Amino acid sequence: YRDCLILPGFIDCHTHYPQLQVIGAFGEQLIDWLNRYAYVTEQAFGDPECAYEAARIFLRETLRAGTTTAAVYCTVHSASVDSFFEESERLNMRNIAGKLLMDRNAPEPLLDSPQRGYDESKALINKWHGRGRQLYAITPRFAATSSAEQMEMAGALWSEHPGTYLQSHIAENRDEMTWVKRLYPERADYLDVYGHYGLLGPRAIYGHGIHLTESELQRCHETGTGIAHCPTSNFFLGSGCFDLGNAKRSSRPVRVGLASDVGAGTSLSMLQTLNEAYKAAQLNGFPLNPAQAFYLATRGSAEALYLEERIGSIAPGMEADLLVL
């Protein structure tokens, strides 16, 4: 590969493979976008053939963009998880994925129950976590679509399966935050909703975090909870502008990884995502230099996912997930 750059493969900390087909869907902010586009699309993924074809296309396009590992949201259907991991295993990729947990405030075909979510997730963990290079993430979509009972089940499931991941969304949109506060009025803040149910700590990664307060960022630092920075999605849905410089402040640095958040995000390319991450940082008075950007898309994302001993760098003993530019 003369005259090329040989780099560690890019790492995407937060993306939705079923939403690839609604990438660029026009004109809505978060809650309306979910109702109009994402939820409609996800209802087809109970069909294993549909799910497998979508997974095949998604992983092909992910690799074509130079991303070799991703933390992926499937749908509420077990078939969507099986299809994703089957194709990921065939490609020998190291990916993290999980079945959505949703038992309220979504269309009926996308709802499970606390017990069913627990049982199906447990079966999928036993089937896929640690099988080859596959890793499982317990995946409550976000606090507004899971009841207190389901959140409790998610916490129990995570504590029963050390080494698994926990992924969800937090503080993406002001209306969403108001909604969550109304649903969980007894909790101190948004992060405390998850903390109350034991959903913070190493290998927990939360998408967005745009509007987290200083005390919430401090708790992320103390617990080792990560944030997935999704700049193309944040701009496209008008959600806000994540302050990367503040999140990485030296007095209490938070683990932050880079993420496409496709399909609300507008590109699977981490280079394109960094283009927008630079603008987000600049708007907050923090010029993101090229070395910092390269770190964010590789080792930084590996650290956010607690995989820095395996991926994100080129060194003896690391897994050889390489990208050639």
pLDDT at 152: 98
Over the stretch 287-311, which tens digit does the pLDDT of each residue have? 999 999 999 999 999 999 999 999 9
Q: What is the pLDDT of residues 70-113, one digit of tens each?
A: 999 999 999 999 999 999 999 999 999 999 999 999 999 999 99
Domain with 99, as residue range(s), is: 6-324
User: Under DSSP, is residue 101 helix (H, G, I), strand (E, B) or coil?
Assistant: strand
- Predicted local distance difference test score (pLDDT) of residue 285: 97
Q: How far is CA 163 from CA 15, 106, 155, in A?
A: 20, 30, 14
Residue 208 pairs in a beta bridge with 170
Tens digits of residue pLDDT in 139-158: 999 999 999 999 999 999 99
pLDDT tens, residue by residue, 191-210: 999 999 999 999 999 999 99
**304 close to 256: Cβ distance less than 8 angstroms:** yes
Whole-number pLDDT of residue 133: 98
CA dist., res. 103 & res. 146, Å (int) = 5
177 falls within a domain: yes
The pLDDT tens digits for 114-138 are: 999 999 999 999 999 999 999 999 9
Domain count, the chain: 1
Percent of the chain beyond pLDDT 90?
A: 100
| Residue 88 located in a structural domain | yes
| pTM of the entire predicted model | 0.97
Where does the pLDDT of residue 11 fall: very low under 50, low under 70, confident under 90, or very high at 90 and above?
Answer: very high
Tell me, yes or no, whether 1 lies in a domain: no
Check residue 91 and give its pLDDT: 98
Contact 55, 83 (CB under 8 A): yes
Within 124-247, strands assigned E span: 134-140, 165-170, 204-208, 226-229
Per-residue pLDDT at 213:
98
Task: Return the axis-axis angle of helices 148-160 and 114-128, rounded to nearest 10°.
Answer: 20
Residue 299 to residue 145: CA distance in whole angstroms: 32
Q: What is the pLDDT of residue 249?
A: 97
Q: What is the CATH number for 282?
A: 3.20.20.140
pLDDT at 60: 98
Percent of the chain predicted with pLDDT > 70:
100
pLDDT number for residue 32: 96
